Amino acid sequence: MTIVETPEPRQMMVVYSRADRIFRRIVTGGALTSLLLLGFITAFLVMRSAETFRQFGLDFITGSEWFSAGEDPLGGAVEGAVEEVDESVFSIGPMIVGSLVVALIAMLIALPLSIGGALYIEFYAPRSIYRVLVSLLDLAAAIPSLIFGLWGIQVFTAIGVRWATLLNDRLSFIPIFSVEFENFGRSPFVAGCVLAALVVPITTSVSREVYSRTPRDLIDTCFALGGSKWGAIRSVVMPYGKSGVIAGAMLGLGRALGETVAIYLMLNLVFRYSFEILDSAGGNVASMIALKFGEATDKEISALIASGLVLFIITLIVNMIASSIVARTTPRA
Amino acid sequence: MTQTQITTNQSANQQNGETSKFIGLETQGVHAWFGKHHALSNVSLRFPERTVTGLIGPSGCGKSTFIRLLNRMHEFIPSAAMAGSVLLNGSDIYAPEEDPAMIRLKVGMVFQKPNPFPAMTIRENVLAGIKLAHLKRSNHDEIVEQCLTRAGLWKEVKDRLQASGGSLSGGQQQRLCIARSLAVEPQVLLMDEPCSALDPGSTLRIEETIKELAEKITVIIVTHNMQQASRVSDHCAFFLTDGGPGYLVEADATRKMFTNPTDSRTADYVQGKFG
């Protein structure tokens, strides 16, 4: 018997063509640029907010007081504002809570509307208006939030106040629906409704897109098994699109968390922890930054940038949670 | 609609005249359209119960359209239309009082590509039809075992019924799809090229399954594979198109179709001279 010697493996290498090498450099450059940009922004936020975090530590996140001493808004030096007696206090607890509460209200309203709307367009709308609806939806997603804010103040507040009154009237035994003063305008609830209107087009558009990719075969199978359309939607379309809908919702949530102008127009900024969503007080981080930035002192600007960093981190965490949920719920084919 | 009914009554009378009513599935002068496109012309065929019929013919000759007419899946295509009648045990499945969902329970369907429901386990897949059609059944375990056994899959999966349907191999997935169709107890099972996406080994397993199924139910199978048609079917129907709507050339016992067909085109086709 002859023994066959196992040969030494030869080194193998993939050789790319010149065009491939050039293209590779271009796309690598593009990817690196956006990463670098993100890095620079983070570095800027961290450096400029370091002072604030050093001074206030965790209180910056948990506290509920924002007081800027030092320079007089009118330009003159304020008496007693000597350097060692700086009484400024910066903390944004209520704004963080406000951001989350308003965004949560918006998502609770927007999600069912989006899923229903997406299912209608994809499975029930007459073919003749299907195209129109799809392009209208994409158009609506591109409307600037300022427009929603203006609509919110001018038109929706009156309606929202009526809903809020009803909720307070019937459900005030639930703490979040009780209020101290029956003044429902400019409340997180009304602002959340406007934010929902702003978010609905995006989440609907994404949901419709994923629903439309359900294999026709699977839907047909449901019919072939004696199922109804609703049965097919419930047992095939919705599970199939679940991860996509969650991704769409997170996209909407990201927008809701960072929304500035609409909230700026819709809410009374109050630095007080409040979970009474019908109460005429609230705020969120982004709109607070926009409101304070124009007249801020140097120290205050550092605090505002720190607020920006906190918002940045919150958005990052939300996105990470989202992608892990999407990864976990994506059906394996 | 009235026309359909008249035909129904006539045929019922004729059948009463001949023997008792025909048991099995029968089509009488069936046509199909997609919008203005006439896809299928004048097909009259009988599928006696507990037989396997192979539908053969080149691509585009209307076999799949025909099979989708047999369980009212054709109507899901916008602007689709049909004429003629399809009788299940003598009664017209297109009669206005018939509930299409009930028809599809009696006439089940297995598709070309194995397509177990992705979000469901093997067990849930088998029981999906019962849930979808809101059937009242209490013996779920029994149904799962029985259907998987009939589909020839029980031994392979009995220890992992909670695994996802997508974790099976292609051939196993297709047998799972067969089990899923069996769970709602159809009288007829339509199969649209069930093996075209499978390897030869899995194909043979499915063919064995089909033969066993025919002991209890009627099977109608579309296939492009002549060997498969000759191996698995009792009867064959040969469809053809000359550029216009597809039509039926001839239908007969499989052995006759493959050895001594009436029409020379059938002989050419089964010998692989065209198609």
Show the DSSP H helices in B19-99 as ranges: 63-69
Kindly determine whether residue A224 and residue B181, on different chains, have CB atoms separated by under 8 Å: yes
For an interface test with B, which of A127, A223, A240, A242 has the most B Cβ atoms less than 10 Å from its Cβ? A223
The Cα–Cα gap between B62 and B39 comes to 6
Q: Is residue B231 part of a domain?
A: yes
Q: Is residue B265 part of a domain?
A: yes
Pairing of strands B37-48, B24-34: antiparallel
* pLDDT higher than 90, residue A251: no
Pick A225's closest partner by Cβ from B118, B132, B164: B132
pLDDT in tens, B141-165: 999 999 999 999 999 999 999 999 9
- Where does chain A show beta strands of DSSP type E? 66-67, 89-90
- Alpha carbon of A157: minimum distance to chain B alpha carbons (Å): 42
Pick A223's closest partner by Cβ from B76, B102, B113: B76
Show the DSSP H helices in B76-139 as ranges: 100-106, 122-132
Instruction: Count how many residues are written for chain B.
Output: 275
* Lowest-confidence segment of A278-292, B36-50, B238-252 by average pLDDT: A278-292
Kindly determine whether residue A223 and residue B117, on different chains, have CB atoms separated by under 8 Å: no
Q: What mean pLDDT do residues B225-235 have?
A: 93
Quote the percentage of chain B above a pLDDT of 90. 83
Kindly determine whether residue A224 and residue B128, on different chains, have CB atoms separated by under 8 Å: no
Residues of A within 8 A of B102 (CB-CB) are 226
Q: C-alpha distances in angstroms, A328 versus A240, A314, B103?
A: 13, 21, 38
For an interface test with A, which of B69, B75, B132 has the most A Cβ atoms less than 10 Å from its Cβ? B132
The amino acid that residue B24 corresponds to is G
Query: Predicted confidence band at A83 (pLDDT cuts at 50, 70, 90)?
Result: low
Three-state SS across A86-131? CCCEECCHHHHHHHHHHHHHHHHHHHHHHHHHHHHHHHHCCHHHHH
Kindly determine whether residue A217 and residue B115, on different chains, have CB atoms separated by under 8 Å: yes
Q: What mean pLDDT do residues B77-86 have?
A: 93
Q: What is the pLDDT of residue B217?
A: 94
The amino acid that residue A178 corresponds to is S
Give the chain B residue nearest A224 (alpha carbons).
Answer: B104
DSSP codes, A262-283:
HHHHH--B--S----TTSS-B-
Q: What is the pLDDT of residue A312?
A: 92
Kindly determine whether residue A223 and residue B128, on different chains, have CB atoms separated by under 8 Å: no
Evaluate whether B94 touches B72 at the Cβ level (below 8 Å): yes
Kindly determine whether residue A332 and residue B132, on different chains, have CB atoms separated by under 8 Å: no
Residue B151's CATH number: 3.40.50.300
- Alpha carbon of A125: minimum distance to chain B alpha carbons (Å): 13
Q: C-alpha distances in angstroms, A151 versus A72, A171, B275?
A: 35, 27, 65
Q: What is the pLDDT of residue B11?
A: 45
- Nearest Cα neighbor of A220 from B60, B225, B85, B190 is B190
Q: What mean pLDDT do residues B43-49 have?
A: 94
The amino acid that residue A26 corresponds to is I
3-class DSSP assignment, residue A190? helix
Residues of A within 8 A of B133 (CB-CB) are 225-227, 231
pLDDT in tens, B92-141: 999 999 999 999 999 999 999 999 998 899 999 999 999 999 999 999 99
Q: What is the pLDDT of residue B146?
A: 94
Q: What is the pLDDT of residue A1?
A: 65
Q: What is the pLDDT of residue A79?
A: 52
Cβ within 8 Å of residue A21, ≥6 positions away: none
The Cα–Cα gap between A120 and A133 comes to 10
Q: Is the ipTM of this complex over 0.90?
A: no
- Alpha carbon of A207: minimum distance to chain B alpha carbons (Å): 18
The Cα–Cα gap between B227 and B223 comes to 10
Kindly determine whether residue A240 and residue B181, on different chains, have CB atoms separated by under 8 Å: no
pLDDT in tens, A267-311: 888 888 888 888 888 888 999 999 998 888 888 999 999 999 999
Kindly determine whether residue A331 and residue B71, on different chains, have CB atoms separated by under 8 Å: no
The H or E element containing residue A164 is helix A157-171
Give the angle subtended at the CA of B115 by the CAs of B111 and B116, to the nearest 5°. 130
- Alpha carbon of A301: minimum distance to chain B alpha carbons (Å): 51
A57: left (phi over 0), alpha (psi -120 to 50) or beta: left
- Domains in chain A and their CATH numbers? 89-329 (1.10.3720.10)
DSSP codes, B162-225:
TSBGGGS-HHHHHHHHHHHHHTT--SEEEEESTTTTS-HHHHHHHHHHHHHHTTTSEEEEE-S-
Evaluate whether B77 touches B34 at the Cβ level (below 8 Å): yes
Query: Predicted confidence band at B13 (pLDDT cuts at 50, 70, 90)?
Result: very low
For an interface test with B, which of A221, A235, A240 has the most B Cβ atoms less than 10 Å from its Cβ? A221
Chain A residues near any Cβ of chain B (below 8 Å): 127, 215, 217-218, 220-228, 231-232, 235-236, 239-240, 242, 331-333
The amino acid that residue B229 corresponds to is A
Kindly determine whether residue B180 and residue A225, on different chains, have CB atoms separated by under 8 Å: yes
Arithmetic mean of pLDDT over chain B = 90
Query: Predicted confidence band at A114 (pLDDT cuts at 50, 70, 90)?
Result: very high
Number of domains in chain B: 1
For an interface test with B, which of A213, A225, A237, A240 has the most B Cβ atoms less than 10 Å from its Cβ? A225
The H or E element containing residue B39 is strand B37-48
Kindly determine whether residue A215 and residue B115, on different chains, have CB atoms separated by under 8 Å: yes
Residues of A within 8 A of B177 (CB-CB) are 221
- Alpha carbon of B109: minimum distance to chain A alpha carbons (Å): 6
Residues of B within 8 A of A332 (CB-CB) are 118, 164, 166-167
Q: What is the pLDDT of residue A297?
A: 86
The Cα–Cα gap between B4 and B81 comes to 13
The Cα–Cα gap between B99 and B94 comes to 9
Arithmetic mean of pLDDT over chain A = 88
Q: What share of chain A is helix, strand, coil (3-state, %, to 5)?
A: 70, 0, 30
The Cα–Cα gap between A133 and B13 comes to 52
* pLDDT higher than 80, residue A116: yes
Cα A225 to its chain centre, rounded Å, is 41
pLDDT in tens, A2-54: 788 899 999 999 888 999 999 999 999 999 999 999 999 999 999 999 989 99
Residues of A within 8 A of B104 (CB-CB) are 223-226
Q: Is residue B214 part of a domain?
A: yes
Evaluate whether A84 touches A91 at the Cβ level (below 8 Å): no
* pLDDT higher than 90, residue A221: yes
* pLDDT higher than 70, residue B19: no
Kindly determine whether residue B117 and residue A231, on different chains, have CB atoms separated by under 8 Å: no
Q: What is the pLDDT of residue B58?
A: 92
Pick B104's closest partner by Cβ from A223, A235, A236: A223
- What pTM did the predictor assign? 0.81
Chains A and B form CB pairs within 8 A to the count of 82
Instruction: Write out the residue range of the structural domain in which residue B133 sits.
Output: 2-270
Kindly determine whether residue A224 and residue B73, on different chains, have CB atoms separated by under 8 Å: yes
Instruction: Count how many residues are written for chain A.
Output: 333
Sheet holding B218-222, edge to edge: B91-92, B80-88, B24-34, B37-48, B246-253, B235-240, B52-56, B218-222, B188-192, B107-110
Q: What is the pLDDT of residue B2?
A: 40
Give the angle subtended at the CA of B68 by the CAs of B66 and B71, to the nearest 5°. 120
Q: Is residue B275 part of a domain?
A: no
Cβ within 8 Å of residue B40, ≥6 positions away: B30, B31, B32, B62, B65, B66, B69, B245, B246, B247
Kindly determine whether residue B117 and residue A226, on different chains, have CB atoms separated by under 8 Å: no
Residues of A within 8 A of B166 (CB-CB) are 331-333
Residues of A within 8 A of B167 (CB-CB) are 332
Q: What is the pLDDT of residue A74?
A: 53
